[in-house]
Every structure is written in structure tokens, then in C-alpha cells.
A and B are shown apart, each in its own frame.
Chain A
Amino acid sequence: GDSVTQMEGPVTLSEEAFLTINCTYTATGYPSLFWYVQYPGEGLQLLLKATKADDKGSNKGFEATYRKETTSFHLEKGSVQVSDSAVYFCALSTLRQFYFGTGTSLTVIP
């Protein structure tokens, strides 16, 4: 069945370091892919999305490219800040189902 697998955490980085969080998916058909972020005590909020192959989603310095050939949607940011500390979820949606990865906790230290 359809699924999302994302990099296990937790991840700890120093401020201004480069971030990559890996996400791969299994799906039949043509799903949409999302990254959501969850700050402590809050609900999830959309970070970026891509709805077809080769699309690049970007927001707040974060980027991810929908790669059909490698079934991946890795999240990257060139220079993380303390305020980026949160849990990041990769997600896949089809017409009738929605799947989330297990979440990757990121802590950025000054």
C-alpha cells in the first residue's frame, strides 16, 4: 500500500548549518507531497507542497523537489535558525487517503 518513510530523528544542528531531512514514498498513481511543521504545543502547519513530478516547493528558506524517479521529497534548508526547532512531517495524499511520516524532531542550538 501507499506509505511515507522519513528520516529518524532527533536531529541536532548548530545555527547556520545545512539541513536535510530525507523522505521517500511508495504510491500508486500520482500523489501530492507535503512537508508540515509542528511547533511545540501546536497543530501542524503546511511548510511547502508539490503536486506533480519535478515540482519544487519552497517556503521560508526550505525547499523540496518531487522526484518521481527516486520516489523522494527531501527537505533542505541552507542555513537553519534556532526558530526552526520543531518536528517536521513528510506527507502524501492521494484522492482518498492521507499518509504522514513519523516525524523528525529538529533542534537548532545557538
Chain B
Amino acid sequence: DSGVTQTPKHLITATGQRVTLRCSPRSGDLSVYWYQQSLDQGLQFLIQYYNGEERAKGNILERFSAQQFPDLHSELNLSSLELGDSALYFCASSATGQGYTDTQYFGPGTRLTVL
């Protein structure tokens, strides 16, 4: 158990809908990262937050947004969902914002299925 929690575990929704994925980092960790894992694209970095502020951005679509709250939990919002958004979404956390040396601790993931 990494100490990172993600809810829900599974999510099934329809095209065009909007969903929110939630992540609670390990106790004491200040950074949260979001990743998308799909069969054709592999594991893709989406975005990083550090202590409430956006710190780094990867291949995140404009339909997706995220935020980190004062209690350090984070939410990833996916809107206007398409079939291709079906994937496993991982959250990770690390102690500091120094991502290039930090160990990232991954949650168990949320499996999103868009029908």
C-alpha cells in the first residue's frame, strides 16, 4: 500500500459526459501528479501540482483540468468525454516539488470506461 488513495476505483459513463476523479496524497506529500495509462499510448504524464499550484504540464487535453485543494487532495476533471478517453488514470504523490529526483508514489488507479 503506497498510502495514495484514489476514488472511485471504476467509473463507467457515456460520451459527452463529465466526471471527476479524486486523489489523496500520502501524508506529508506536497506534490500530486496525474497520469493516463492506455493500451495505445502507454503511460502519459498529464499534470503536476505542488502545494496548490500548477507546477508542470504534460500532454493534458483542454477538455481535462485539475486542481489541488488546501488539504492537498487533488481532483482531475474530464469533460466532453470521448471513447478514446477510456483508460486507467493514476495519481501519484511525492514529498516535494523537486520532481526530477523525487520518488513518486502511485495510487491504485481509477479505471474509466466511456461507452
Interface residues, chain A, CB within 8 Å of chain B?
A: 31-32, 34, 36, 41-46, 49, 51, 89, 93-103
Indicate if the CB atoms of B33 and A98 lie closer than 8 Å: yes
In residues 57-115 of chain B, which contact A (Cβ within 8 Å)?
A: 58, 90, 92, 99-109
User: Is B17 interfacial (CB-CB < 8 Å)?
Assistant: no
Q: Please, which residues of chain A bring their CB within 8 A of the CB of B99?
A: 93, 95-96, 98
Indicate if the CB atoms of B100 and A100 lie closer than 8 Å: no
Indicate if the CB atoms of B43 and A100 lie closer than 8 Å: yes
Asked whether A99 and B45 contact (CB < 8 A) given A32-B101, A43-B90, A44-B90, the answer is yes
Asked whether A102 and B90 contact (CB < 8 A) given A32-B101, A93-B99, the answer is no
Number of A-B contacts (CB under 8 A): 60
Indicate if the CB atoms of A89 and B56 lie closer than 8 Å: no
Indicate if the CB atoms of A51 and B101 lie closer than 8 Å: yes
User: Is B42 interfacial (CB-CB < 8 Å)?
Assistant: yes
Indicate if the CB atoms of B90 and A31 lie closer than 8 Å: no
Q: Please, which residues of chain A bring their CB within 8 A of the CB of B20?
A: none
Interface residues, chain B, CB within 8 Å of chain A?
A: 2, 4, 33, 35, 42-45, 48, 55-56, 58, 90, 92, 99-109
Which among B43, B100, B105 is the interface contact of A93 at CB below 8 angstroms? B100
Indicate if the CB atoms of B42 and A103 lie closer than 8 Å: yes
Q: Please, which residues of chain A bring their CB within 8 A of the CB of B2?
A: 43, 45
Residue in chain A with minimal CB distance to B33: A98
Pull 23 A–B residue pairs with CB atoms less than 8 Å apart, ordered by A: A31-B100, A32-B100, A34-B103, A41-B108, A42-B108, A43-B2, A43-B90, A43-B106, A44-B43, A45-B2, A45-B106, A51-B100, A93-B99, A93-B101, A95-B56, A96-B56, A98-B45, A98-B56, A98-B104, A100-B42, A100-B43, A102-B42, A103-B42
